């Protein structure tokens, strides 16, 4: 079964051989209807649409980040209604190198679903390979999906603050360098980064064609954060693209890193929490 990445060729073969639950996770943070509109126009055959804010997040509050983790009962109900059972092979994709789809990959890992993979190269690679697309959608057979989430896989803002103070964790920020430094901030009300956080933009996980770099290459890429004995915790703007660094490390054979789910947009909801501008 596939648990990290799957190639377009293998997915095409898998769709012919057996049942796969396939999710299209295309989403534009600046135009929230664009992903669904693109899906309705054309998508990989058999795919269902997963909306970042409606399906993969809970409601924003004054103390949360922009994409709080979904309520677990609602998320499990949504999975079951989409035809996902604990034995399903799930595949997720988007058109941003996995930046959005990695969120659903991580959420499924959070609730204990082993067989979930991200389509390497995503929708763009599928089109380049001239594989079939359609505008039709299947009617899934609903299941009751029962599971208990593993909440040890993520940290709250309070846990991050305490762990940074005691130097127990290494915080890795997946945002682009300009946002990390605070040169620009297109999405959140404050710019900068958390003191002590190391910047490793998620786009550095990809090659020039938008596919993940080879596992050995990514292992070398992450070597700078492997020499310490601290627990590695990934963050970004709202806990979405941070999951890209997690799957990249898993692909590279580096297991056990965790997610700061609220990330920057939750950190800045409390004025007393420190921020840094610059490198």
Contact 80, 144 (CB under 8 A): yes
Sign of the CA dihedral running 16, 120, 38, 242? positive
- The secondary structure of 5-19 as a DSSP string is EE-HHHHHHHHHHS-
Instruction: Judge whether 236 counts as a catalytic residue.
Output: yes
- Measure the CA–CA gap between 212 and 205, rounded to whole angstroms: 6
Active-site residue (options: 25, 211, 236, 243): 236
Q: Which residue has the tokens 């899906």?
A: 39
Element (H, E) at 266: helix 263-267
Give the tokens for residue 233.
């915790």
Contact 65, 51 (CB under 8 A): no
Burial 126-150 (b: 16+ CB within 10 A, else e): beeeeeeeeeeeeeeeebebeeebe
Give the tokens for residue 91.
């595949």
Dmax of the chain from CA atoms? Answer: 55
Which residues are annotated as catalytic? 236
């Amino acid at each position: 079964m596939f648990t990290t990445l799957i190639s377009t060729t293998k997915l095409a073969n898998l769709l012919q051989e057996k049942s796969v639950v396939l999710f299209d996770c295309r989403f534009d943070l600046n135009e929230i209807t664009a992903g669904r509109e693109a899906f309705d126009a054309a998508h990989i055959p058999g795919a269902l649409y997963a909306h970042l804010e409606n399906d993969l997040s809970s409601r924003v509050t004054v103390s949360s980040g922009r994409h709080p983790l979904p309520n677990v009962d609602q998320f499990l109900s949504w999975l079951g209604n989409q035809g996902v059972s604990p034995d399903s092979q799930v595949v997720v994709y988007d058109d941003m190198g996995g930046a959005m789809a990695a969120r659903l990959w991580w959420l499924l890992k959070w609730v204990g679903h082993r067989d979930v993979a991200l389509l390497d190269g995503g929708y763009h690679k599928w089109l380049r390979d001239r594989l079939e697309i359609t505008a039709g959608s299947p009617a899934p057979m609903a299941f009751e999906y029962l599971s208990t989430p593993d909440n040890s896989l993520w940290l709250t803002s309070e846990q991050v603050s305490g762990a940074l103070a005691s130097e127990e964790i290494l915080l890795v920020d997946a945002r682009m360098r300009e946002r990390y430094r605070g040169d620009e901030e297109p999405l959140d009300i404050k710019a900068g980064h958390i003191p002590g956080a190391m910047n490793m933009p998620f786009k550095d996980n990809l090659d020039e064609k938008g596919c993940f770099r080879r596992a050995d290459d990514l292992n070398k890429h992450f070597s700078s954060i492997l020499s310490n004995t601290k627990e590695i915790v990934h963050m970004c703007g709202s806990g979405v693209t941070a999951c890209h660094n997690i799957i990249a490390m898993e692909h590279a054979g580096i297991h056990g890193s965790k997610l700061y789910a609220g990330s920057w947009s939750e950190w800045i909801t409390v004025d007393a929490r420190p921020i840094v501008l610059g490198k």
